[in-house]
Amino acid sequence: MGKKLIIAEKPSVAQDIARAMGGFTREGDYFESEDYVLSSAVGHLLELAVPEEYEVKRGKWSFAHLPVIPPRFTLNPIDKTAERLRLLTRLIKRKDVDGLVNACDAGREGELIFNYIVEHSKTNKPIERLWLQSMTATAIRDGFAGLRSAQEVEGLRQAAMSRAESDWLIGINGTRAMTAFNSKTGGFHLTTVGRVQTPTLAIVVRREEEIRRFKSRDYWEIEGRFGVAAGEYAGRWFDEKFRKPEGDEHARAERVWDEAKARAIQAKCAGKTGTVEEEAKPSTQLSPLLYDLTSLQREANGRFGFSARVTLQIAQALYEKHKVLTYPRTDARALPEDYLPTVNDVLARLPHTYAPHANEIVKQGWVRPNKRIFNNAKISDHFAIIPTGTEPKSLSEAEAKIYDMVTRRFLAVFFPAAEYRVTTRITRVEGEAFKTEGKVLVNPGWLAVYGKEAQLEEDGKGGETAAASLVPVKPGESARVEDMLLKALQTKPPARYSEATLLTAMEGAGKTIDDEELRAAMAGRGLGTPATRAQIIENLILENYMLREGRELIPTAKGFQLMIALRGLKIDELSSPELTGEWEYKLSQIERGELSRDAFMREIADMTQHIVHQAKSYESDTIPGDFATLDEKCPRCGGVVKENYKKFQCQSCDFSLWKIVAGRQFETHEIDTLLRERQVGPLTGFRNKMGRPFNAVIKLNDKLEPEFDFGQPREDENAEPVDFSQQTPLGPCPKCSARVFEQPMSYICEKSVGPEKSCDFRSGKIILQQPIEPEQMQKLLEAGRTDLLKGFVSSRTKRKFSAFLVRQPDGKVGFEFEPRAAKPKAGAKTAKAAAADAAPEAEAEAPVKKAAAKKTTAAAKKPATKATARKKSA
């Protein structure tokens, strides 16, 4: 009787199988027992390639060789793992091996890795499938007791191969076509695209465009302070007849868009007395669903700032190395219906930290059939991520955080709903209504797993909203208007994507869906899979299509340019996330045997032909788009200057300006200013070759060529004195009391330049990406501080913060932070953290290397900085 060869995806899994099954001896990179030979791949060992006669070397890509749709694909060994592939091929061909067991990861990629090895070895030996969703010894033994036939997972194999080939066809042809398109005017401009990567970029670019187009609107809110016998409470005015109008997402019942109307309500109610109505209703909140990979990545990013890739790596280690979590690359948030005994077993073996909650679940009998938790219809290849019950040992801090998240979510899902008492109070004054809401946690339910029960006992309100301020009102009691405040506010643009919110958008193919159940229904039409989304985000950053700044993801000029091209070329398949989400859904149909692989691949071939045809059909200056005609005329010939895909181009002569310089795209109004005044700026957002941001003024020289000017007057001993006679001083120098004037890049003391230099005061016009307007510098010089400025970006954490600029006793400019209502014992830490966040350096004062200018002066010297608990030098 022959032996079966077991092939796992990774060496660590092969070791686990050897330990669980027993009887194996190690023979170098494989194990052997009486019944089995056991080895592993090391991830992907082979990659798709086209037959040599269809290949064209990089640098020689042209439309003449496109599209590349080979009649067949070949598999090329990956160089660094070629030795492992030779070993597996040798083991497959052993005469005493009469069957194979696919023990690669239970999913599309695991299926692909194994089948490529089999295809490469040209074997026809029978194949069985080991389907593991947990790496415990019991699960491994159970898996071998119930090996599946290859036919049972044939749909998964077809989908895996279709995914790989479609990504290759779109990626290779799209990248070569767009590179050829962007290289038509000379050079080699690599422009990568992908079937999932590029529509994901489209989501981020679309949001940034919304932010740039956004025009804030003023509105007012009216807050009343009301007095009753038991004390005071606040209430906010609202329109009782409000109906949300079509197309105005900012309309709210409490917002007044006319200041005169708001002031009239304020005056009408001031000093009057009102009546009070109150309604209290019970309310419940169910626990969140169990984690799938995307929801775990989303929450870990929001709570700890972990990138999606880091969360996946941690979860994979907790599954594979530590054996404390089940398989993480899952899109399911439910468990199998026969899993109740396993859940009880896991509860019994959880670490003692969680024992009180686990014991309560068992004692109350809360593990029972429940379609929200146990539902076969909501499981595809894998079930939700839960703990295995194995005791965790020597976890890193990050691993412990993810393990705790999963374990508490697992416990919470069995607990009853949290119960609240929600009180709504309406105070009516002179016919105007003011709403006050209070929410009291009555029974923590599942919140007890997260410590809310302790909070409830501690402060009587469970840490929930404004219950303490909701003082009781006697039946029939009137409320006096103690104060009537008018708040002037502005609408805000939508927030930039973080990895957490981008993962949600990818899951819904660009649609922002907050409801968990709806999101689950849409997930099959999302972009990518839970296992691939993290890498897609990383690839976009690697290709410089977007930047990660703090927790924000910001598209680069290169990313914008690609989207402009794809829209102009009408390549909707790559610029429409919704359309591409349908392709992912079709792959899942192939998995289930509802769509043929041939039909899907024909659609992909058609899509490939369309991409290449469209890119062939246009030149960079003829590509359609929403391009502007500038107000200013050409400085060379007086002709009309128009924007096109790559340039601002005169229509009558050869004068042109590139739209993107040093990684920054110019706006039309900036170019208008440059043509009119021969300079513009200082502008933020330029990046040097190291990716570091810098600011600069752009000037047109005598040849009408743009140059960087960092605005630093020459300081050599022969320098001419600077003529300030035509300028108005902004105020007295805080160091020497001479006059301070505005220069292109900074505000300087008149005695800090020229041969008679005697002072060194200089403050940047842009500090940590926050423009400092002349009127703010005037306030700083005359009154000692600016208004609260809200656009500073920490050079250390990349997060935005608000601060006042203040004049310090030594004459330097420093930060002062807005007072915050801090929790007990947290105040000092908050101030210290804010100071540390503010600025290890003042960006505008730091040396900046010249990126492209020929003529520019030396960069400013960076002043020394000194932080205090409340202030920090700018």
User: Residue 38 corresponds to which tokens in the numbers above?
Assistant: 């056991």
Bridge partners, residue 418, by sequence: 285
- Per the model's pLDDT, the better-predicted residue between 841 and 309 turns out to be 309
Split at pLDDT 50, 70, 90, the class of 54 is: low
Whole-number Å distance between alpha carbons of 682 and 773 = 11
Give the pLDDT score at 56.
62
CB 366 within 8 A of CB 414: yes
Whole-number Å distance between alpha carbons of 347 and 353 = 12
How is 63-84 classified by DSSP, letter by letter? Answer: GGG-----SS-EEEE-GGGHHH
Residue type, 659: K
Of 38-42, 83-87, 99-103, 379-383, minimum mean pLDDT range: 379-383
**Averaged pLDDT for residues 660-681:** 86
Q: Is 354 a catalytic residue?
A: no
Give the pLDDT score at 848.
30
**Averaged pLDDT for residues 198-223:** 94
CB 421 within 8 A of CB 434: no
pLDDT of 862 strictly over 60: no
Handedness of CA 513, 517, 518, 524 (dihedral sign): positive
CB 590 within 8 A of CB 165: no
252-255-258 Cα angle (round to 5): 130
CB 537 within 8 A of CB 555: no
List, as own/partner pairs, every contact residues 668-673 make where C-beta atoms lie below 8 angstroms and the sequence separation is at least 24, other chains included.
668/628, 668/630, 668/643, 671/630, 671/632, 671/641, 672/630, 672/631, 672/632
- pLDDT tens, position by position, 390-425: 999 999 999 999 999 999 999 999 999 999 999 999
User: Residue 867 corresponds to which tokens in the numbers above?
Assistant: 């932080």
Please classify residue 426 by burial: count the beta carbons closer than 10 Å to its beta carbon, then call 0-12 exposed, 13-18 middle and 19+ buried. Answer: middle
Which one of 319, 327, 545, 645 is the catalytic residue? 327
- pLDDT tens, position by position, 527-582: 888 888 999 999 999 888 998 888 899 998 889 989 999 998 999 888 888 888 88
pTM of the model: 0.75
**Averaged pLDDT for residues 750-759:** 84
DSSP code at position 822: P
Greatest Cα pair distance, the chain, in angstroms, is 102
